[in-house]
Every structure is written in structure tokens, then in C-alpha cells.
Amino acid sequence: MGKVEKRLLDTIARNGAAHLTLIDPAKQSPKIAGEIASDAAAAGSDGIMVGGSTRAVGELLDDTILEIKKAVDLPAILFPASEAGISRHADAIFFMSMLNSRDPYFITGAQRRGAPLVKKLGLEILPMAYLLVEPGGAAGRVGKADLIPRTKPELAVAYALAAQYLGMRFVYLEAGSGAEQPVPVGMVRAVRKATQVTLIVGGGIKTPEVAVERVKAGADIIVTGTLVEHAKDRVAKIREMAKAIKSARGA
């Protein structure tokens, strides 16, 4: 197991759960991305995910990660939308497969194209199943997802079990960035009960209460991105989220 994975698992063991801040390089300048990362670190976030959109590539991606690394010593983990979302400057990569895509490109195609470069760069691998749940947002549309209906936790369980049996150590239940409705609590609970994977939940998590319910149901990692987009006091906003996540299991 690599350093980033160990650090994440140690945090989860210590605090019950972890919080990751998603920064999409396409949404602001690298300099501002560095400031967001700095605020996230000050507020108790446990790592920065970098990516999430098809425009998060090339120089913009590299420069964004460099600014993040300059600002914080939190792990910078790639969250690529395609094989173009790889950067030598990251600490690790969610090597992910959208298991419920209808297009093989998102299941093994991009992975096959990206793998040789990932090997060459020596990036730490975090093998992850990326499961799109209704409403799914842009990620669901771009990835041509056969969305998991909100009323079908057993389908999420089946995919998550398949992921575990395929050797993936992380499963990400994703409702889509800015989703009106986050992943249902019952679905999180069902996947938790059936699998031993490190369970990530994200998409539309806007309040500490919503995050806490999902941690109590078994989420190990909560991802937020949009949360800080229009926040007046970014540190305060992330701090109340990170604090709630880390005290949820003890509560």
C-alpha cells in the first residue's frame, strides 16, 4: 500500500471518516486553486482531489497541482475524466472505472490508454470503482452512465461487490457535482453492509447534516467541491463540514 492510501486509511481509523476537497482546474486559475487548497488544509480537510472535468488537462492541470503542492502538504490525488487528466506532479491517482457506463471507453478504454503513462510517472494507484447514481449530473451524461436509480440500493450493492471482487479498494458513489439530491442514505448503508471497500460518497453534499447522515450510514470519505464556490468565508465553511464528518461516528 502506498503512502497516500495509508494516510487516508489512518485518518479514517483515527477519526471515523475523512473529508476530501475537490478542485476542478477548469473552474479557477491555478493561483486561486492554491488558495482554496490552503483554506481547505487550514480547515481540516484531509486531501485535495484534482480533476473532475474534461477541460482539466495539460498545462492548466500541471500548474494547478503545482500551486496546490506549494500551498499545502495534503496529498493531491488525480480524479481524471479521461487519460488526459494525468499529471506527473500529483501524489496519487484514483485509477477509476465507471462500472455503470454504457461505453467501454469509460470502463477500460481510457484506463488502457492512460496506464503506460501512469506507470512511467510512478504515480501511486488508488483503484476505484466510480458508480453514478441518479441524478448523475454532467459526469453521468459525459460518461454515458446507466444511472443507478435512487430506489435501487441493491443495484449499487451489486456493482460495489463486483468492484470488490475485481480487487478495487475504493468505491465512489457519485450523485454528480451540484446534484439536487445526494446519494440516498439507505444506499450508502446497503453498500457498507455488503462490502469492505473504502466507501467514498459525493455530489450535492452541501450541509454538515447531510454529510453526517452518510458517514453514520457507513461512508468513509465525503467529497465536496461546489460547497466553497460561492462561500464568503471558505475556511469556516470547510471547517464546519470537516469537523462534522470527523465527529459523526463518535456522535
Contacts to ligand 1GP by CB under 6 A: 22, 52, 139, 174, 177-179, 202-205, 223-227
Are the C-beta atoms of residues 52 and 82 closer than 8 Å to each other? no
Question: Least separation, in Å, of the C-beta of 52 and ligand 1GP?
Answer: 5
Question: Least separation, in Å, of the C-beta of 122 and ligand 1GP?
Answer: 26
Question: Least separation, in Å, of the C-beta of 205 and ligand 1GP?
Answer: 6
Question: Least separation, in Å, of the C-beta of 10 and ligand 1GP?
Answer: 23
Taking the least distance from each CB to ligand 1GP, the nearer of 137 and 153 is 137
Taking the least distance from each CB to ligand 1GP, the nearer of 71 and 223 is 223
Taking the least distance from each CB to ligand 1GP, the nearer of 119 and 229 is 229
Are the C-beta atoms of residues 191 and 180 closer than 8 Å to each other? no
Question: Least separation, in Å, of the C-beta of 202 and ligand 1GP?
Answer: 3
Query: How far is Cα of residue 130 from the mean position of the Cα atoms in its chain?
Result: 9
Separation of alpha carbons 116 and 8, rounded Å: 25
Cell numbers linked to 215 = 458517514
Count other Cβ atoms within 10 Å, centred on residue 40.
30
Taking the least distance from each CB to ligand 1GP, the nearer of 120 and 180 is 180
Taking the least distance from each CB to ligand 1GP, the nearer of 11 and 177 is 177
From residue 246, give the alpha-carbon distance in Å to each of 22, 123, 212, 216, 220: 18, 28, 9, 11, 10
Taking the least distance from each CB to ligand 1GP, the nearer of 123 and 201 is 201
From residue 2, give the alpha-carbon distance in Å to each of 93, 127, 241: 11, 12, 27
Question: Least separation, in Å, of the C-beta of 54 and ligand 1GP?
Answer: 13
Contacts of 226 (CB under 8 A, 6+ apart): 177, 178, 204, 206
Taking the least distance from each CB to ligand 1GP, the nearer of 97 and 224 is 224
Question: Least separation, in Å, of the C-beta of 225 and ligand 1GP?
Answer: 3
**In which residue are the cell numbers 471558505 written?**
234
Question: Shortest Cβ contact with ligand 1GP: which residue?
Answer: 202
Separation of alpha carbons 238 and 187, rounded Å: 25
